[in-house]
Amino acid sequence: MINEDRLWNRLMELGEIGKQPSGGITRLSFTKEERAAKEKVASYMKEAGLAVYEDAVGNLLGRKEGKDPEAAVVLVGSHLDSVYNGGMFDGPLGVLSAVEVLQTMNERGVETKHPIEVVAFTDEEGARFSYGMIGSRGMAGTLSEEELVHQDKHGISIAEAMKAAGLDPSEIGKAARRKGSVKAYVELHIEQGRVLEQANLPVGIVTGIAGLVWAKFTVEGKAEHAGATPMPIRRDPLVAAAQIIQMIEQEAKKTGTTVGTVGQMQVFPGGINVIPARVEFSLDLRDIDAAVRDNVFQSIIERAQQIGQERNVKVTVERLQEMPPVLCSELVQNAAKEACKQLGFDVFSLPSGAAHDGVQLVDLCPIGMIFVRSKDGISHSPEEWSSKEDCAAGANVLYHTVMRLAMGE
Ligand code: HGY
Ligand code: MN
Ligand code: MN
């Protein structure tokens, strides 16, 4: 069994990095907070006896050699970056559990056929640039320099942020792994939903990951005096945006499986006595079925254009990123099921509404995930919480899952 006190203490220690007076943790990619988190985790990896390095897109890796150095590597990990004012488990639980698994193996002198690498992926969340999974795209070899133009709210592009972090955007291709060089990718993660809690179970095995599309809506009207402009002649983009956002909720509710969220909004110029000139807001739309999601997205775009015409404002929609829904491999799901049985846990399978780096790796290698129960299903919030016992349960299932994959069974 893994050392649950060591795992928990590291989770709590890491949870101090990026703590916000306004609550929660903000550790955005290529910032000093994320750098500090990487340094801390690199020190844990060294304590675990791993060879520590960073690749060309800033993924942090810790490697344990196998008996057969030619054998494909078993990759296990998650991410260290967070959303704004997020929780302390989303990402770090998977990275620190992976370190704990390898440290326990090394302490017991366990030798595996396959080498094993712990990975902390760069920028899984995409919170800073509204464009995510830079690290896993880099490892999959699907990241191009053109994608590094996305900017944060200060106008800094991903490429500029990478340079400031000591990386060379023109070298990102070096992070790509050759197909066949990775046997499998396994990620332990908090569920971020209510299913395990309602089933009264500490751990679950993920069957598939929902696919998301992120978009930016711009509504342009006419800035005018709040006091001197009669209501009937206004071209108010904020009222139009409010109507579009209500419509988004209606359209997403229709299918019963789709989820739609407007999380960001900016009003220009933003004066209390000025009818806005322009409004920008985001859309995060997801479904486990890409066709269902895309039909909802199409309806939203069409109805938004209609609202624009009715209100004499200009509506434009820019697609920021799209990730297809993916299925987890039988190889990893079966290894996790055997691990659950070995430990006496119910074998319980569930889909993931949240997106994860595995989505980017499906063409590189078989992927799979293990979930740990989330208190009240809350995540991406300072209230995000999982118990020490559940974290240990997840890490023990991860240990036996990785053993099966790395022993070459
Ligand atoms: O947005 C997500 O689903 C993940 O937390 N990046
Ligand atoms: Mn997240
Ligand atoms: Mn996550």
Report the CATH number that the domain containing residue 292 is assigned in CATH: 3.30.70.360
**221 and 197, same domain (yes or no):** no
For residue 400, say whether it is annotated as part of any ligand binding site: no
Backbone angles phi, psi at 184, to 5 degrees: -165, 160
**19 and 116, same domain (yes or no):** yes
Pocket test for ligand 1, best of 82, 88, 124, 190 (most atoms within 8 A of CB): 124
**362 and 293, same domain (yes or no):** no
**65 and 198, same domain (yes or no):** yes
125 lines ligand 1 (CB under 6 A): yes
The mean pLDDT of 371-380, rounded to a whole number, is: 98
For residue 79, say whether it is annotated as part of any ligand binding site: yes
For residue 90, say whether it is annotated as part of any ligand binding site: yes
**Which atom of ligand 1 approaches the CA of 192 most closely?**
5
**Which atom of ligand 1 approaches the CA of 286 most closely?**
3
What's the token pair of residue 162?
């990478």
**75 and 191, same domain (yes or no):** yes
Between the alpha carbon of residue 281 and those of residues 86, 109, 227, 285, 355, the distances in Å are 20, 53, 26, 13, 21
Which of these three, 261, 289, 323, is where a domain ends? 323
Helix (H) or strand (E) segment spanning residue 189: strand 182-190
**156 and 49, same domain (yes or no):** yes
Q: Return the CATH number at 42.
A: 3.40.630.10
Per-residue pLDDT tens digits for 192-201:
999 999 999 9
220 lines ligand 1 (CB under 6 A): no
What radius of gyration, in Å, describes the C-alpha atoms of the chain? Answer: 22
Number of domains in the chain: 2
**181 and 218, same domain (yes or no):** no
Domain around 276: 211-323
Helix (H) or strand (E) segment spanning residue 291: helix 290-310
210 lines ligand 1 (CB under 6 A): no
What's the token pair of residue 111?
């030798």
**Confidence grade of residue 69 (pLDDT, cut at 50, 70, 90):** confident
pLDDT, averaged across the chain: 97
**49 and 173, same domain (yes or no):** yes
Amino acid identity for residue 355 in this structure: A
100 lines ligand 1 (CB under 6 A): no
**196 and 285, same domain (yes or no):** no
Query: Minimum-distance ligand to the CA of 78?
Result: 3
Between the alpha carbon of residue 157 and those of residues 54, 55, 130, 303, the distances in Å are 21, 20, 11, 32
Per-residue pLDDT tens digits for 256-282:
999 999 999 999 999 999 999 999 999
357 lines ligand 1 (CB under 6 A): no
Helix pair angle (32-47, 4-14), 10° resolution = 160
Q: 93-108 in b/e burial notation, b at 16+ Cβ within 10 A?
A: bbbbbbbbbbbbbeee
**188 and 251, same domain (yes or no):** no
In the block, residue with structure tokens 């109507």: 243
**Confidence grade of residue 409 (pLDDT, cut at 50, 70, 90):** low
Transcribe 257-281 into DSSP letters. S-EEE---EEEES--TTEE-SEEEE
Instruction: Identify whether the C-beta of residue 155 lies closer than 8 Å to the C-beta of residue 76.
Output: no
Backbone angles phi, psi at 53, to 5 degrees: -155, 165
**Confidence grade of residue 187 (pLDDT, cut at 50, 70, 90):** very high
**198 and 313, same domain (yes or no):** no
**85 and 202, same domain (yes or no):** yes
Query: Minimum-distance ligand to the CA of 380?
Result: 2
124 lines ligand 1 (CB under 6 A): yes
